[in-house]
Each structure stands twice: as structure tokens, then as C-alpha cells.
Amino acid sequence: MSKEISLQALQRLPLYLQYLKALPADKDIYISAKVLSSALGLGEIQVRKDLAAVSDGGKPKVGYCAAELIKDIENFLGYDNVNDAVLVGTGKLGKALLSYDGFKAYGLNIVAAFDSDPGKCGIDESGKQIFHISKMENLCERMKIEIGIITVPAASAQEVCDILVKSGIRAVWNFAPAHISVPAGVLLKNENMAASLAVLSKHLSEKRVCENNSNSI
Amino acid sequence: MSKEISLQALQRLPLYLQYLKALPADKDIYISAKVLSSALGLGEIQVRKDLAAVSDGGKPKVGYCAAELIKDIENFLGYDNVNDAVLVGTGKLGKALLSYDGFKAYGLNIVAAFDSDPGKCGIDESGKQIFHISKMENLCERMKIEIGIITVPAASAQEVCDILVKSGIRAVWNFAPAHISVPAGVLLKNENMAASLAVLSKHLSEKRVCENNSNSI
């Protein structure tokens, strides 16, 4: 199925997946958009639309077979085909992501890491190889790596991103608190903790923020 | 100044701060919205509006005094008054955040952590104290903690959040890949890596996604 879906809907799909996977693994469990929406505190029409975009299995009255819906969502998200990734910058956050084994469930496989500090190169405690950044371009090209995870300081983020793009990376997951730019066709997903902290800090400093009538962001 | 500002604008402020702080610390440096917008790849009108909302220092032709603008933005964000936070769940990500010293610059001070595993309690390598979760409510109330950082598994996220709210927390920073709900007045900021991975994976699986004509998210 190649229906279009909004970015917002796309980002809700993991929530559905997670809820469905928590249900007892029983072939005969059916779940309706109504039940799912109230369980997750989302609008029923929104959930109904999201599910219809990723699965044809909805039946009037009963809803979706949970097991089938899980398959459909994972298939839609491309979790079935694992994507190889490299991580650049093995500081505290980098090491944490490197040794986090939960990514595989989302189709992400970090095959290696890079650092500019020769002293950090070698085998990480997670068992993954950390190479010197000078080896990155060659290795990414050779292994046809598609995802680059950036956990370097803000100042070097764009430089690292440029090398990744030059190496054929098609998606960049940026954890550096920096505004970086990528050419069209390459997806950039920012995980900007500084922006999040600004939201928290602002809320506590009790100045009013427009939050589309919602206190959840 | 207590002007209203959109959530989107609020989350751009740290980018401005970061750029301004990278400039040579010279009292006489002035920067215009035009220069800032092109440097950060943002729309000039947008930047002009953002800056006007947080600072009155803009002068025709010359723009803003960088040093003054930094002060105004930090003041607007409430970075000047440090907020105490606790962290719940000392797994890999939890430990990484606990030992990350960059938060202080954003007015966030993690004073202690909690875990349900008694074996994990004691002094963390970061030098911070990890208490058993049974002590959380009492300690948060006593120390008037305002921010709770959740890094527990999805299954226990809501339960932990409820205890935090009960303890007087006013802002929750959730890293667990779970949909949790908070009462009105409490701010919830989700750092949902599962949602980010869905976006990356989807892009690579080459199904089309509406991204508001932008490839940066």
C-alpha cells in the first residue's frame, strides 16, 4: 500500500504499535479505533484515519485484528527491512545510543561508530567498532550505509553531516544542538534537546506559551 | 517582557542563542535578523518576528547588540533561574543524561535520580545520588522539585509520571516511548525516539510522506 500520510500521523504509528504489542498475543483479538483512541487519549476520527491509511483489515463493528494490524503498521514503516546506520561522536550520549539494543525493533542497526579522537577508537563496551572519522566516508560508501546518527558537539555537526551526505547517507538523525542543512532527497530528523529544554524552562518561568490548546507537546 | 510566542518560535530561540554565543565576545558586535536568518537557513521575517518578541533592543539598520540579545533570550527562556530536576530510571539513557553536564547551561540541574532496582541505588559515577523509587514522592515534595525526567521502560512510564505529578512536579520530560497523560497545568514534553525512527525508516522505505515541502523535521 503506498497511500500518503501526514508526518503527524506517521509519528503516531509507533504509539499504536506499542499498544498493540502489549496485548496478549492471540490471533483472535480484535481492536476498534474507538478502543485504541480512548486508550491512547487521541481523537477517534484521527485514529480511524491513521489506521485506514496503513491497513485494509478494518471490519465494521469488530475493528482490526490486532496481529494483522501490527504486521500492516510495521510493513508500512519499513521495520521489516533493517536499515544499517553509523553513529558519529562517541561522547556520553553517543555511547548510550551505541549500546542501546532497542533500535533493532525499529529496523535500525548501528553497524559502527566514528570519533575524531584516536584514543576513543577500538572496540566499544557495546562490542561495536569505533573507527577514526577519517575512515568514515570510505566505510559508509563501501557498506552502503543509509542512516547517519550525529552525536558530535554543535560546532562540528554540519561538517560531519556533509561528510555523511558525501558518503551516500540518505537520512540523518541529528542529536547535536545545531541547525544543520542537507540537500534535497536527504531526510534530516532533529532530536533537539536544547529546544525541549527551552519549552520546559519557559513553562516554569510562567510566561504564557501558545500550545494549540494542549499542554502535551 | 511577557509577550506571547508560538511553540515553534520558542523552540527556535536556542538556535539563535547558540549562534550568538559562537560570535566573538565583543560588546560592540551588532547582528541583524537578515544575517541571523541566512546563517541559520531560516526565513528573515520569521527571525525578525521571533527576535522582536523577546527583545526591545533592535535598532534600524544595525540590528541587535549580540551581547544584549543573548541576555534578552536567556532571560525570556528563564535560563537565569536554574530549575531543579529529578531523573527516574537509571538505564543506559538515564545514566547518560545524569552525567551530561551540558544541561546547566539551559537552567536545568538534575539533583538526584531514582530507580526501582535497589541494586542500582547509591552514588552514580556522575557523583549523583540514585535513590530507590519508594523515596521519590517524599524527596520531590521536600526539595520542591519542578521537573521530572522519565527514562524508564514504556510500561512503567505513566505510573512514574503519576507519582511525579503527585509530588508537585510541574513539567515532565518523557524519554519513554509511551503515550502518557498529565493533568492541566503540568507541561509534558515528549522526546519520542520511536517516532523519530518511524520517520527515518519510512523515508528509507521510499513511501511518500507529506512533509510540508520540507525535508527537515
Radius of gyration of chain A (CA): 20
User: Greater confidence, A89 or A82?
Assistant: A89
Which pLDDT score is estimated for A126? Answer: 80
Residue with cell 529496523: A107
Residue with cell 534530516: A188
Q: What is the pLDDT of residues A128-138, one digit of tens each?
A: 999 999 999 99
Q: What is the DSSP string of B86-146?
A: EEE--SHHHHHHHT-GGGGGGTEEEEEEEES-GGG-EE-TTS-EEEEGGGHHHHHHHHT--
Query: Is B37 in the same domain as B65?
Result: yes
Distance CA B177, CA B151 (A): 9
Residues ≥6 apart with Cβ < 8 Å to A82: A104, A107, A108, A109
Nearest to B148 by CA among B80, B88, B77, B83: B88
Nearest to A47 by CA among A67, A29, A73: A73
Range with lowest mean pLDDT among A14-28, A144-158, B132-146: A14-28
Average pLDDT over residues A190-211: 71
Nearest to A179 among B15, B79, B184 (CB): B15
How many angstroms from the chain centroid is the CA of residue B83? 12
The residues facing A197 across adjacent strands are none
How far away is chain A from the Cα of B152, in angstroms, using its nearest Cα?
13
Q: Is residue A202 part of a domain?
A: no
By the 10 Å C-beta count (0-12 exposed, 13-18 middle, 19+ buried), A16 is classed as buried
Contacts of A147 in chain B (CB under 8 A): 200, 204
Query: Is A191 in the same domain as A177?
Result: yes
Which of A56, A77, A98 is a domain's end point? Answer: A77
Q: What backbone phi and psi angles, to 5 degrees, belong to A6? A: -75, 160
The residues facing A152 across adjacent strands are none
Helices B66-77 and B7-21 meet at what angle, rounded to 10?
140
Range of the domain at B178: 83-195
Nearest to A215 among B41, B184, B208 (CB): B184
Contacts of B200 in chain A (CB under 8 A): 83, 108, 147, 171, 173, 187, 189
Query: Is B108 in the same domain as B12?
Result: no
Query: Is B96 in the same domain as B175?
Result: yes
User: Greater confidence, A30 or B209?
Assistant: A30
Q: With a CB-CB cutoff of 8 Å, which residues 185-214 of chain A face chain B? A: 185-205, 207-212
Please list the alpha-helical segments (H only) found in chain A: 7-22, 33-40, 44-54, 66-77, 92-98, 136-143, 154-166, 193-204
Distance CA B174, CA B151 (A): 7
Query: How many CB atoms are located within 10 Å of the residue B176 CB?
Result: 25
Nearest to B201 among A2, A77, A154 (CB): A77
Contacts of B81 in chain A (CB under 8 A): 205
The SS3 call for residue B62 is: coil
Which pLDDT score is estimated for B206? Answer: 58
How many angstroms from the chain centroid is the CA of residue B215? 23
Query: Is B106 in the same domain as B180?
Result: yes
- pTM comes to 0.72
Nearest to A79 among B5, B199, B201 (CB): B201
Q: With a CB-CB cutoff of 8 Å, which residues 49-88 of chain A face chain B? A: 76-79, 81, 83
Are A202 and B146 a contacting pair at CB < 8 A? no
Distance CA B53, CA B51 (A): 5
How many angstroms from the chain centroid is the CA of residue A32? 26
Query: Is B164 in the same domain as B147?
Result: yes
Which pLDDT score is estimated for B169? Answer: 94
Q: Is residue A210 part of a domain?
A: no
Cβ B110 vs Cβ B124: under 8 Å: no
Cβ A115 vs Cβ A132: under 8 Å: yes
Q: pLDDT in tens for each of the 217 residues of chain B?
A: 446 788 888 888 988 988 888 888 777 899 999 999 988 888 999 999 999 999 998 998 889 999 999 999 988 888 777 889 999 999 878 887 887 777 877 788 999 999 999 999 999 888 899 999 999 999 999 999 999 999 998 889 999 999 999 999 999 999 887 888 899 989 998 887 778 888 888 888 753 344 344 444 4
Q: Is A166 within 8 Å of chain B by CB?
A: no
Query: Is A96 in the same domain as A164?
Result: yes
Residue B173: which H helix or E strand, with range?
strand B171-174
* pLDDT classification of A61: cutoffs 50, 70, 90: confident
Distances in whole angstroms, Cα of residue B213 to Cα of each of B71, B98, B216, B217: 34, 37, 9, 11
Q: Is A23 within 8 Å of chain B by CB?
A: no
Q: What is the CATH number of the domain that holds A183?
A: 3.40.50.720
- ipTM value, please give it: 0.73
Q: Is residue A205 part of a domain?
A: no
Q: Is residue A2 part of a domain?
A: no
* pLDDT classification of A212: cutoffs 50, 70, 90: very low
Query: Is A89 in the same domain as A50?
Result: no
> Which of A179, A188, A208, A209 should be substituted to probe chain B, the one whose Cβ sees the most B Cβ atoms within 10 Å?
A179
Distance CA B19, CA B70 (A): 10
Query: Is B175 in the same domain as B160?
Result: yes
Domain count, chain B: 2
Q: Is residue A114 part of a domain?
A: yes
Query: Is B124 in the same domain as B147?
Result: yes
Are B177 and A14 a contacting pair at CB < 8 A? yes
Query: Is A151 in the same domain as A187?
Result: yes
Nearest to B121 by CA among B90, B93, B97: B90
Mean of all residue pLDDT scores within chain A: 86
Are A173 and B95 a contacting pair at CB < 8 A? no
Which of B77, B101, B119 is a domain's end point? Answer: B77
Which of A77, A107, A134 is a domain's end point? Answer: A77
Are A170 and B15 a contacting pair at CB < 8 A? no
Cβ A90 vs Cβ A130: under 8 Å: yes
Distance CA A175, CA B193 (A): 11
Average pLDDT over residues A60-79: 90
* pLDDT classification of A1: cutoffs 50, 70, 90: very low
Q: What size, in residues, is chain A?
A: 217
- What residue of A is the nearest CA neighbor of B107? A201
Query: Is B112 in the same domain as B18?
Result: no
Q: Is residue B50 part of a domain?
A: yes
Residue with cell 541547525: A179
How far away is chain B from the Cα of A27, in angstroms, using its nearest Cα?
22
Q: What is the CATH number of the domain that holds B35?
A: 1.10.10.10
Q: Is residue A112 part of a domain?
A: yes
Distance CA A86, CA A138 (A): 12
Contacts of A109 in chain B (CB under 8 A): none
Q: Is residue A37 part of a domain?
A: yes
Distance CA B72, CA A25 (A): 55
* pLDDT classification of A211: cutoffs 50, 70, 90: very low
